Structures are given as structure tokens and as C-alpha cells.
């Protein structure tokens, strides 16, 4: 894809708190039979292993968290509130849990298809939350465990990144560890979540 390079295994095979802010400005892209949709990542949240009170890995290896202990560079997708899928990129090294939640994106490709999937018009609300990102891009539980370094779903870094300023805040929408500055945003972006 012209102007972008897909992120490889070595990008994800690092400390979660290094990966999370570096995903800002990258493109999350999904190619399907219905068309291509993508968005520029403007907000992420880091989730660490057993020492993180808000992480799915806080109780160690379970059927749900097992993927966080696996190969970095795969998608961790789960259902929340019985209605919204959330997409994470697994980080760290095998045997050490870590993942980065994609919280919000600026719509980029396939606006009409994303609007159809979301059942609403475009604008700032189209991908301004992790559930909205998955719905707009057509990401479901079937993508849990897919390799982000190849295939239909992936993350790409621009060859000539546009300048922007980043910020770190406490996480939102979770119980516990909200005081830790594990949420990363592109400052001034109108597309970040609440």
C-alpha cells in the first residue's frame, strides 16, 4: 500500500507502554469482500499483565486472557456488555501478558461502508470509541487471534508521518488503575472518545 508500511512482529514484541503511544498516527485497515475500511489511530490504552488491576490478565492465564500471553502481533478481540467487540494488539513476549486497546480512529477509507455498518452518518462519532471502531471496520470475535502482521486485518505506519503532539491520561471506562497514565491520545484530535 503506497505511503504506508505494515507493522511487523518486532514492533509488537516490546514493552506495552512503548507500543501504545507509537500506534498513534498509524492506520488500522480491514480488507473484506464488502470493501476496504480504515482509520487513523488517535487513541489507545495499554493493558499490562498480572500487576495491572484493570487487565484481563490480572488473574493469570485463563481461557479469556490466554491470548495475551501468546505471540505478539496478533489481535485480541472480545465482547463487552454483551454487545460491543473491542480490538487489542497483543504485545510483549510469549509468556508475558500485554495488549493495547484501539480506542478511537479518524475515518480514512471506506466511509460509506463504515456508515452503513454503523447505521449512521459520518463525522466525529463514527469511530470515537473502541466498540465503534470494531463495528465500523467489521471486526468481530472471528478476528480473535488473527495475525495483524499479515492478512486482511492489519496496522500500517506512514512512511512520512504527519507531525502531531501526544498526551497521556488515566484510562476511562474501566474500574481500577484509572489513575495510571496508560491512555494515549493525539492532542487536539476531534475523534478521540469521551
For strand 4-6 and strand 84-90, is the pairing parallel, antiparallel, or unpaired? unpaired
Question: What whole-number distance in Å separates Cα of residue 19 and Cα of residue 21?
Answer: 6
Does the domain spanning 4-186 belong to CATH 3.10.300.10? yes
pLDDT tens sequence across 51-71:
887 888 888 888 888 999 999
pLDDT tens sequence across 140-157:
999 999 999 999 999 999
> Residue 156: phi, psi to the nearest 5?
-125, 140
Per-residue pLDDT for 175 more than 80? no
Prediction pTM value = 0.95
Domain regions of the chain by residue span: 4-186
pLDDT tens sequence across 26-53:
999 999 999 999 999 999 999 998 888 7
Question: What whole-number distance in Å separates Cα of residue 90 and Cα of residue 26?
Answer: 16
Amino acid at each position: 500500500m503506497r505511503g504506508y508500511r505494515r507493522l511487523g512482529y518486532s514492533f509488537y514484541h516490546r514493552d506495552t507502554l512503548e507500543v501504545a503511544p507509537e500506534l498513534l498516527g498509524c492506520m488500522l485497515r480491514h480488507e473484506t469482500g464488502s470493501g476496504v475500511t480504515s482509520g487513523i489511530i488517535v487513541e489507545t490504552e495499554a493493558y499490562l499483565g498480572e500487576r495491572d488491576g484493570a487487565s484481563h490478565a490480572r488473574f493469570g492465564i485463563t481461557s479469556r486472557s490466554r491470548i495475551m500471553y501468546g505471540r505478539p502481533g496478533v489481535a485480541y478481540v472480545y465482547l463487552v456488555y454483551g454487545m460491543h467487540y473491542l480490538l487489542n494488539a497483543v504485545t510483549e513476549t510469549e509468556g508475558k501478558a500485554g495488549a493495547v486497546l484501539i480506542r478511537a480512529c479518524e475515518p480514512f477509507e471506506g466511509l460509506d461502508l463504515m456508515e452503513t455498518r454503523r447505521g449512521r452518518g459520518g463525522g466525529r462519532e463514527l469511530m470515537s470509541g473502541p466498540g465503534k471502531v470494531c463495528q465500523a471496520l467489521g471486526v468481530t470475535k472471528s478476528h480473535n487471534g488473527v495475525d495483524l502482521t499479515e492478512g486482511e486485518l492489519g496496522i500500517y505506519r506512514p512512511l512520512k508521518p504527519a507531525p502531531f503532539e501526544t498526551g497521556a491520561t488515566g484510562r476511562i471506562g474501566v474500574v481500577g488503575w484509572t489513575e495510571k497514565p496508560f491512555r494515549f491520545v493525539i492532542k487536539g484530535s476531534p475523534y478521540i472518545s469521551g
